[in-house]
Amino acid sequence: MTIKQKYDLWVNEPKMPDYLKEELLKMDNTQMEEAFIKDLEFGTGGLRGIIGAGTNRMNVFTVRKTSLGFANYLALDPKNKKKGIAIAHDNRHFSTEFAKEVAEVFANQGFKVYLFKELRPTPMLSFAIRYYGCAGGVMLTASHNPKEYNGYKVYNASGSQLNLKESDLCIAEVNKVKDMFNIETAKDSKLIVPVLEEVEAAYFEKVKKIQINETSKSANILYSPLHGTGLTVVPRLLEEMGYNVLVYNPHAFVDPDFSNTKNANPESPEAWQGMAEVALNHDVDAIILTDPDTDRTGISVRDGNNYVLLNGNQGAALTVYYLLSQRKSNKKLEKNGYVYSTIVTSDLIGEIGKSFGQNSVRVLTGFKFIGEQALKIEGKAKFQFGCEEAIGSVIEDFVRDKDGVQQTLMYAEIASWLKDKGMTFIDYLHEIYEKYGYYLEYTHNLVLTGLDGAQKIIEIMDYVRANGITLKDYKLVKYEDYKESKVYFPGGKTEVLDMYQSNVLKFYFDNKMWVIFRPSGTEPKLKIYFSVVEKSQHDAEEVLNKVVREVLEFTNKI
């Protein structure tokens, strides 16, 4: 079917809501092509796209189609209907409506549905799946994407996002659904059970137990939910644990338009605008932001009269070092536990883990791979920590996804522990660097939107895959092609790369330096990651800046 034929089918559909029909009628040829060029695809975080009309957009019809396909996939095991499914949503446009649609599609297929009555964080949905013994779950969220987006995260019975095999089977069932306009739904079904208070109380009880040290709770915390789901749980949790928390007022209301922030991503400096002045006025030790669905956590720490925004690698290093060192001090450190990180995360995380006698395991980007590993060691070994460089982590694996609630509580504990010792986060970070080396990382996001942008990303990846990269002052040690599952060495030697296939290229140079090229699975970006390690901060900064300039000059010529 051509793009025009797809468009005609939609614009002439009798069941098309007025607001989508109006959008369709206003489309020019470029907008039509972008809306119908393909069906929304699963990336590292599930289904995610711009809200609007079309097969390549998030709307009531693509949500129903995906839900029916997911229901049919789960129904391959008849017992799953009785086990049921948990459904939650964030603050975005149509999230509440989409969650209701998902529930009604599943109920019509005979599934028991545990539907959250109000918006709540993604990690609570992951927890709810195992709490109720569900066969799976759905979270309606676009995480940190701009306000024009929404998304559909799909979870398995372990509380983790579907692994690659499960995703393939689910997508096959979704693709079998040919008529998205006539999918039956069960409105007001008794199979749909509203939930909230019970599961939330159980989740809070688990989160509170991650505390390691009884501190004075002396640290002052400024917190922002960025207009999202964190507002519903984080301030209450911190207060119940005895911490001094001030909620940043301009962000302290649920808002799908993110009216008082220029960016919904805590990794972006724009998200933090206005907060440092308030923090100084209230003698704040740390500013903490969670993204709209509260699975990711950013932290900005006091350094004199300034606040320094830590990147995800630094935050993870501080956390895992604190967790392992304090568990050891308290004689509660299990041997041969596991620390998980991704292939784009700083090597420092793994080095810290190994120094405390833990197994350090790397996985592909996407927290579903950490969730998959957590399931493998369940009942056999201790899950110590899991993280990715994009400010996502989980401390205790009663949640099998990133958990910004856990991380926020742990940052508050670390802040008070350090304050009791007369130290700052910066002092602590340098203590870690002095012990393990000065690891510095940088991620360059090459944003390439639209169809032309998607094609340009393909061209760059193809060119780098065929020609590699060179650095003037550094020797290539090897490079890994995750798409071909091969490791290539200078001189022609190759090895099999024992990891899932993915369109990622990782180049290792001497001096423990590496550069990675990876298209984003959820956004129109080509991500280029850099990591260096030197004996001093000055040397690390100098090398990193030089290498970044050199690689970006090369990339711009492609």
Query: What residues are annotated to the active site?
Result: 143
Q: Tell me if residue 510 falls in helix, strand or coil.
A: coil
* β 46-50/392-394 pair status: unpaired
Q: What is the greatest pairwise CA distance in the chain?
A: 69
74-77, Cβ contacts within 8 angstroms, sequence gap of 24 or more:
74/111, 74/135, 74/136, 75/109, 75/110, 75/111, 76/169, 77/135
Q: Which residue has the tokens 């599952």?
A: 485
Q: How far apart are CA 381 and CA 335, in angstroms?
A: 8
Cβ(394)–Cβ(406) below 8 Å? yes
- Start-end of H helices in 27-94: 29-36, 60-74, 80-83
Cβ(522)–Cβ(48) below 8 Å? yes
Q: Dihedral angle at the C-alpha atoms of 341, 131, 103, 153, nearest 10 degrees?
A: 0
Specify the DSSP element, H or E, that contains 297: strand 297-303
Q: How far apart are CA 259 and CA 411, in angstroms?
A: 27
What is the CA angle 253-255-260, rounded to 5?
80
Count of residues for the chain?
558
Cβ(35)–Cβ(53) below 8 Å? yes
The first and second tokens of residue 59, run together, are 């709307």
DSSP-assigned letters across all residues of 80-112: HHHH-EEEEE-SSTTHHHHHHHHHHHHHHTT--
The first and second tokens of residue 501, run together, are 């296939």
Please classify residue 176 by burial: count the beta carbons closer than 10 Å to its beta carbon, then call 0-12 exposed, 13-18 middle and 19+ buried: exposed
